[in-house]
Amino acid sequence: MTRHKTFRLVIDALLMAIVLLQNILPFLGYIPLGPFSMTLIGLTVIIAAIALGPVDGVIIGTFWGLITFIRAFTWPSSPVAPLVFTNPLISILPRLLMGLLAGFVYLWVRRHWHQEKLAMRLAAATGALVNTVLVMGLIYIFYQTPAVATAFGAKGSQTLGYVLMISILTNGVPELILDVLVAPLIAGPLRKRWDRLNHSAKS
């Protein structure tokens, strides 16, 4: 029992290290798309959620969100990051929920439909979709509230609207591609890891 617990602590820590690494090494974390880029960090969160469970998905997702949040102030990952991700609701909440829901979808589909591969694909799609929809949805909410506007010195919500409209486009496009990409990319590596984990839990 403790054996399993310590293993989980360490694998979560190492997945956190991979998330950190993906932030430090650009080619590991991002694929450039012209001036903007799509991120592969969501992939790590989804892997954590499927291979280990919803709780671990939340841990890694929240960690990613926290890094996004801190980076928006200190070391912006994209030109829109300082405009949007300085709000913890936009930077942290979508990542937290994507880990949670991806984990649950995987468990649910596996239990009820008994299809391992389909469960992984659906979970990955859910995770990516939840992230994109929530980021865009929350930007839309703040598009109507000038709360973010004042923090950046933009006068009034009317003008901020255009700034955020660009943000929605630049967030939506890379993440849409991410949705398409994540599901097939993730299924293979995951399967093997999942087997391994089951194996170590039994012994």
Which residues of this chain interact with another protein, rule CB under 8 A?
2-3, 5-7, 9-18, 20-21, 24-28, 31, 33, 35, 38, 40, 43, 47, 73-76, 78-79, 81-83, 151-155, 158-159, 162-163, 165-166, 177, 181, 185, 188-189, 192-193, 196-197, 200
Tokens of 5: 């617990």
C-alpha dihedral (41, 75, 147, 42), degrees to nearest 10: 0
Taking the complex as a whole, the smallest distance from the CB of residue 79 to another protein amounts, in Å, to 4
Taking the complex as a whole, the smallest distance from the CB of residue 154 to another protein amounts, in Å, to 5
Cβ closest to another protein, residue 105 vs residue 154: 154
Cβ closest to another protein, residue 108 vs residue 188: 188
Cβ closest to another protein, residue 114 vs residue 153: 153
Tokens of 10: 């360490």
Taking the complex as a whole, the smallest distance from the CB of residue 64 to another protein amounts, in Å, to 12
Q: How far apart are CA 76 and CA 89, in angstroms?
A: 17
Tokens of 36: 């903007």
Taking the complex as a whole, the smallest distance from the CB of residue 112 to another protein amounts, in Å, to 27
Cβ closest to another protein, residue 74 vs residue 111: 74
Provide the residue type at 118 as one letter: L
Cβ closest to another protein, residue 26 vs residue 137: 26
Q: How far apart are CA 121 and CA 185, in angstroms?
A: 9
Q: Which long-range contacts (CB under 8 A, 24 or more apart) does 183-187 make?
A: 183/120, 183/121, 183/124, 183/125, 183/128, 184/121, 185/43, 186/43, 186/46, 186/47, 186/50, 186/120, 186/124, 187/117, 187/120, 187/121, 187/124
Taking the complex as a whole, the smallest distance from the CB of residue 7 to another protein amounts, in Å, to 4
